[in-house]
């Protein structure tokens, strides 16, 4: 039986590997993990109650936003992918983890490794963000993730995978165990790549700071905050928090509190 190397990527970035022409579809398979584990209660395979709890959290947080069903599908498809890897382990050669230095990718990697280490296969991880590549302008850049990597840079990045030894595998497993025990609703990356659980209002002060005495589109306030926090969470999460601040009367809103372009906000303290 022919064994395939598995390349696991996080988010909607598989096209980058495909377009690079560096991953041979005859010898390798690409698996995408979509669910953003930086937010919401966590779940794992065989945990139906926790899966439902996670889905309910997203439904409560994002309400009528049109892509909630897509988020729910991501939860299921990721767990199905992990189960498939376990069930078809006899077809796996090496596993390549394209893990970047974003908290969601790290927590997803911890969950994956807690299962993959049972398969007795070599698991390799990329050395983001310590890889120097050339940008389209010829400048030297250090991408933090495949999200920030261009197809033309994949060949160089592929030279910077290393095998994860047993000690590090156990450290990843412990990270997943710790996150499951804490099971908060917001996880952020602090110094030395430490994943910490924070309250859901952790970024509220920055959202408030970016509100002015004049009405601005929520998209602008959220965009400025994303830059301030170095894109530590996605805009959907900040949209939820901004709407919460409006609902609590801490800022004034005009328009329909739905998508980020549907409403504007201003800071009551400066009005």
Shared domain check, 159 and 248:
no
3-state secondary structure of 97: strand
Please give the tally of structural domains in the chain: 2
Least Cα distance to 39 among 126, 102, 112 occurs for 102
- The reply to whether omega before 129 is within 30° of 0 (cis) is yes
Give the pLDDT confidence of 108-127 residue by residue, as tens digits. 999 999 999 988 899 999 99
Give the structural domain span for 127: 4-182
> Domain holding 85: CATH number?
3.40.1360.10
Give me the pLDDT at residue 63, please: 73
Shared domain check, 93 and 21:
yes
DSSP code at position 142: -
Shared domain check, 171 and 96:
yes
Shared domain check, 74 and 163:
yes
pTM for the full predicted model: 0.93
3-state secondary structure of 23: coil
Q: Which burial class, exposed, middle or buried, applies to 4 when counting CB atoms under 10 A from its CB (0-12, 13-18, 19+)?
A: middle
Ramachandran quadrant class, 193 (left: phi over 0; alpha: psi -120 to 50; beta: rest): left
Give me the pLDDT at residue 67, please: 66
CA dihedral 156, 8, 173, 75 (to 10 degrees): 140
**Ranges under pLDDT 70 in the chain:** 1-2, 64-67, 192, 269-271
Q: Establish if 259 belongs to a structural domain.
A: yes
Give me the pLDDT at residue 122, please: 94
């Amino acid at each position: 039986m022919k064994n395939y190397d598995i390349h696991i990527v996080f988010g909607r970035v598989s096209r980058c590997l495909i377009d690079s022409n560096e991953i041979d579809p005859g010898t390798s398979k690409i698996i995408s993990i979509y669910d953003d584990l930086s937010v919401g209660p966590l779940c794992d395979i065989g945990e139906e109650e926790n899966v439902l709890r996670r889905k309910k959290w997203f439904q409560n947080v994002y309400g009528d936003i049109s892509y909630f069903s897509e988020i729910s599908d991501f939860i299921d498809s990721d767990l199905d992918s992990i189960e498939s890897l376990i069930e078809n382990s006899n077809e796996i050669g090496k596993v390549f983890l394209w893990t970047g230095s974003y908290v969601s990718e790290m927590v997803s990697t911890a969950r994956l490794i807690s299962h993959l280490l049972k398969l007795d296969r070599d698991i390799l991880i990329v050395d983001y963000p310590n890889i120097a590549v050339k940008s389209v302008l010829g400048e030297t850049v250090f991408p933090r993730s495949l999200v920030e990597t261009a197809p033309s840079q994949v060949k160089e990045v592929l030279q910077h995978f290393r095998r994860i030894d047993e000690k590090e595998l156990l450290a990843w497993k412990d990270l997943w165990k710790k996150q499951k025990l804490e099971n908060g609703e917001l996880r952020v990356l602090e110094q030395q790549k430490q994943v910490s659980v924070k309250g859901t209002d952790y970024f509220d002060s920055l959202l408030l700071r970016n509100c002015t005495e004049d009405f601005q589109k929520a998209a602008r306030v959220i965009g400025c905050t994303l830059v301030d926090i170095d894109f530590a969470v996605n805009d959907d999460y900040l949209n939820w928090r901004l709407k919460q601040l409006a609902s609590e009367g801490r800022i004034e809103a005009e328009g329909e509190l739905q998508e980020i372009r549907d409403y504007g906000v201003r800071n009551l303290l400066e009005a």
